[in-house]
Amino acid sequence: MIIARHLALATALMVTSTALHAQELEEQYQAALAHDNNLAASIKRHASTELLGDIAQAAFRPTLSGSYTDTFNIENNSNSDSYSASLALNIKVPAYHAKDGSLASIKQSEANLQASH
């Protein structure tokens, strides 16, 4: 009976010790990640690579432009206004290739980021 109590106490101490050790390891791992310059550089590089997708997508968005002119004629005391607006969508074949290239770069960057963890 005494041996069973000692065994239960030893088991409880081991479980508690293991849990504390695991928590310490997790804290040390998180601290190491927070101070890993290579990982931070990889994360920043990946973030900038993801912007390539936005840049490539911009080629498929319409552009809107407009202007307003107000003219006053002093000689005959008259005023004239003119307005203009245009909406354009210029899709160029190279834009399709740029989009594909940027998506490939983003996938490669994601793989590099995963490998650096």
Give the pLDDT mean for 20-41: 78
Q: State the Cα–Cα distance between residues 50 and 52, nearest whole angstrom.
A: 5
Of 67, 63, 68, nearest to 87 by C-alpha is: 63
pTM score over 0.75: no
Gyration radius from the chain CA atoms = 32
pLDDT of 6 higher than 60: no
Q: Which residue has the higher pLDDT, 13 or 22?
A: 22
Amino acid letter for position 6: H
Instruction: Pull the structure tokens for residue 73.
Output: 């004629």
Express each pLDDT in 93-109 by its tens digit: 666 666 677 777 877 78
